[in-house]
Amino acid sequence: MKLFKLVFLGAALAVFPAQAQEVTPSSDEIIEALLPMDAAGRRVKGARSLVGEPGEEERQGRGVKVVGGEDVPFIDLRVAFEYDSDRLSNDSMLTLQRLAAALSNEQLQGSKFRIVGHTDARGSVEYNQDLSERRARSVVQYLVEHNHITADRVEVAARGKSELIEGIDPADERNRRVEIQNIGKAE
Q: What is the CATH number of the domain that holds 75?
A: 3.30.1330.60
Q: Is residue 6 part of a domain?
A: no
Q: Is residue 1 part of a domain?
A: no
Helix ranges (H only) for the chain are 2-15, 27-34, 93-104, 125-147
Q: Is residue 121 part of a domain?
A: yes
Q: Is residue 12 part of a domain?
A: no
CA–CA distance, 98 with 46 (Å, rounded to integer):
21
CA–CA distance, 29 with 122 (Å, rounded to integer):
31
CB 116 within 8 A of CB 133: no
Please tell me the total count of domains within the chain: 1
Please tell me the pTM assigned to this model.
0.75
- What is the separation of C-alpha 177 from the centre of its chain, rounded to a whole number of angstroms? 6
- What is the separation of C-alpha 166 from the centre of its chain, rounded to a whole number of angstroms? 16
Parallel, antiparallel, or unpaired for β 178-185 and 154-160? unpaired
Q: Give per-residue pLDDT as tens, 102-114.
A: 999 999 999 999 9
Dihedral pair phi/psi, residue 140, rounded to 5°: -60, -45
pLDDT in tens, the chain (187 residues): 544 444 444 444 344 333 444 678 999 999 999 998 665 555 555 433 333 333 333 334 656 555 555 678 999 999 988 888 999 999 899 999 999 999 999 999 999 999 999 999 999 999 999 999 999 999 999 999 999 899 999 999 999 999 999 999 999 998 999 999 999 988 7
Q: Is residue 94 part of a domain?
A: yes
Q: Is residue 15 part of a domain?
A: no
Query: Which residue range(s) make up the domain with 159?
Result: 24-185
Q: Is residue 47 part of a domain?
A: yes
How would you class 115 by CB atoms within 10 Å of its CB: exposed for 0-12, middle for 13-18, buried for 19 or more? buried
Q: Is residue 9 part of a domain?
A: no
CA–CA distance, 87 with 108 (Å, rounded to integer):
27
> Measuring CA to CA, which residue among 150, 13, 142, 161 is closest to residue 79?
142
Residues, the chain: 187
> What string of DSSP letters covers 22-87?
PPPPPHHHHHHHHS-B-TTS-B-TTPPP----B-S---SSEEEEEETTEEEEEEEE---BSTTSSP
